[in-house]
Amino acid sequence: MKPKIKNKQGEKFFERGFSLLEALFALLIIVVGVSGSFALINQTLSFSSFSSNKLIAVYLAQEGLEVVRNIRDNNWIQKEEWSDSLSPAGDPKGQISYTSTRANENYDDCYLSIDGDGFYYQPNKNKQTGLCEGSNPTKFKRLIEISKAQGGDFEPMTDNSETRVVKATVEWQEKGRTHNLTVEETLWNWYWDGIKEGIEPPVAGAGEDKGKGKTK
């Protein structure tokens, strides 16, 4: 029997307690609140994972540009043609590793792997089996495209061009969706060619012979 309580005036009585409907409604509110909290936590974790992978992709793309730039600089140091080995034969699409000394490997569409020192590197595809040789693959792929600069268009390069447009694209999969990030840089042949023969660069305005240097 439900307890009864008397009001101050003593004229009316009312019953105190929850009905079944009120209890179910309260339970529904609790379930909705808990479900919302879990959904928020899951969304936060998902966003954190995406941000982490995007940051890795940025570093990998930037590393690709820096490796190509180092190869160009090394060509100058070795007194070779500045654009030597800066593209795969007949194809602007290629791949590169942090240890690469040439940028003319054709793209094998393999996931980047992690070596024993914890660095990302680009494995090659076995020509006989068609399988990538990386022992510790990640979720990232990196494509390097090197072309000439012509009116801002990304077109196959020509050997006599004084510029190279380097485009690094990193792709990864997350929760069934494909994400990609691209960075681009234009490299110039600004190093004066006469230095290869040990000739000092001419002083601007001293005669008609001016250096071929360009500012980057």
Grouping H, G, I as helix, E, B as strand and the rest as coil, residue 38 is helix
CA distances to 45, 135, 139, 152 from 57, in Å: 18, 20, 10, 24
Most confident of the following: 24-28, 29-33, 123-127, 211-215: 123-127
Average model confidence (pLDDT) across the chain = 75
**Measured distance CA(155)–CA(202) in Å, rounded:** 34
The token pair that represents 35 in the structure block: 């479900």
Shortest CA distance to 106 belongs to which of 121, 125, 119?
A: 125
Domain locations in the chain as residue ranges: 40-186
pLDDT tens per residue across span 147-195 = 876 654 444 444 446 788 899 999 999 888 999 999 999 888 877 555 5
For residues 37 and 51, what is the distance between their CA atoms, to the nearest angstrom?
21
Residue 149 is predicted with a pLDDT of 67
Tokens 């071929």 sit on residue: 212
Mean pLDDT of 40-63: 81
Phi then psi for residue 167, to 5 deg, are: -125, 120
Q: What is the mean pLDDT of residues 138-142?
A: 93
Strands 113-114 and 120-121: antiparallel
**What is the rounded distance in angstroms from the CA atom of residue 112 to the CA atom of residue 136?**
8
**Global confidence as pTM:** 0.65
pLDDT score recorded for residue 91: 67
Can you tell me the distance from the alpha carbon of 111 to that of 123, in angstroms, rounded to the nearest whole number?
8
CA distance 30 to 21: 14
